[in-house]
A and B are shown apart, each in its own frame.
Chain A
Amino acid sequence: MDEKDLQFHIPIFVFLGLIILHVILCIIYSFVQLIPLALLPLSLAVIYIIAVKRKGWESK
């Protein structure tokens, strides 16, 4: 993956960063019961990554 590809995927990095920030806040403030909810947006990120990988395989 070159630099332009990485730049194209900036929104998903920000998306993941926001999820991680909220998970960290849950740990700091002891709201551990909320952490499993992070799986909901993370599943979207996983679907996106699979789509990126599939596109990469198709182009080869």
Chain B
Amino acid sequence: MIQNIYFTLLSVFVFAIPLIYHSYKFQGVENTIILLLNIMGIAIIVELIGVTSGAYIYTGQTLILVTIFVGIGWILNTYPSMHIALYLLGLYHKENLKTKEILIASILSASFGVIYDLFIDPVAVALEIWVWSREGPWYGVPIFNFIGWFFIIFSMVFGYLFTRTRGEFLKDKLLMSLVSVILGSLFVYLMMMLCVHLGI
């Protein structure tokens, strides 16, 4: 199995760089900063809760490496999913998105992210990059993982698009990003608690 953590980290970085460049090129510096804040902020908070709760472990990784890995890694699934959703909806170049449009784009992005994970997660589990504490029905992956993915990507995309559209200056955008990271993480946490309560 893949025991070399640095290979995993390197491949995550190699794929993330063109995506960050793409955001910089087509959305500008400010929007790239808030994109990274929204994705990395929610990813790190939610994943650290997931790891420390014992639901799963990243094989052979320290907490610092997990933080770097998930912070960068979530860009790889969220950004392409959001790009595909915005493009298909014809909203990519629209500057002032309505709340309803942001909501639809977020739901579609999250759905695409889950479709992507239906392939990626079983492979990662088979390679023992991460290990679930209890085996699930989808090639060893529990169903609540996919529900979690949906809410995480939804929160990231909604937070980013809402901040990008409503924030006027960088200072406003940074403050809104901070609020959206806190609210987004809380929302994901509550949804996951609901899943645990319902026995999913």
Binding site for B on A (CB under 8 A): 7-8, 10-15, 17-19, 21-22, 25-26, 29, 31, 34, 37-38, 40-41, 43-44, 47-48, 51-52
Contact = CB atoms under 8 A, between A and B. Distances in A.
Interface in B1-21: 1-2, 11, 15, 18-19, 21
Q: Which 7 A-B pairs have the closest CB atoms?
A: A11-B83, A15-B80, A11-B80, A37-B119, A10-B22, A41-B116, A22-B123
Contacts of A14: 15, 18-19, 76, 80
Nearest to B22: A10
Interface residues of B, number: 28
B56 interface: no
Contact of B15 (A17, A31, A51): A17
A38 B1 CA distance: 20
Contacts of A52: 87
B84 interface: yes
B69 interface: no
A48 B15 contact: no
Given A26-B126, A34-B139, 19 more contacts: A10-B21, A11-B19, A11-B22, A12-B83, A22-B123, A26-B123, A29-B1, A29-B127, A31-B127, A34-B119, A34-B126, A37-B119, A37-B123, A40-B116, A41-B119, A43-B115, A44-B112, A44-B115, A51-B88
Contacts of B87: 48, 51-52
A37 B1 CA distance: 20
28 contacts: A10-B18, A10-B19, A10-B21, A10-B22, A11-B19, A11-B79, A12-B80, A12-B84, A13-B18, A14-B18, A14-B19, A15-B80, A15-B116, A17-B15, A18-B76, A29-B127, A31-B126, A34-B122, A34-B123, A37-B118, A37-B139, A41-B119, A44-B84, A47-B84, A47-B88, A48-B84, A48-B88, A51-B88
A51 to B, nearest CB: 6
Interface of B: 1-2, 11, 15, 18-19, 21-22, 25-26, 76, 79-80, 83-84, 87-88, 112, 115-116, 118-120, 122-123, 126-127, 139
A37 B141 CA distance: 13
B interface secondary structure, majority = helix
A23 B151 CA distance: 26
Contacts of A47: 84, 88
A21 to B, nearest CB: 7
Contacts of A44: 84, 112, 115-116
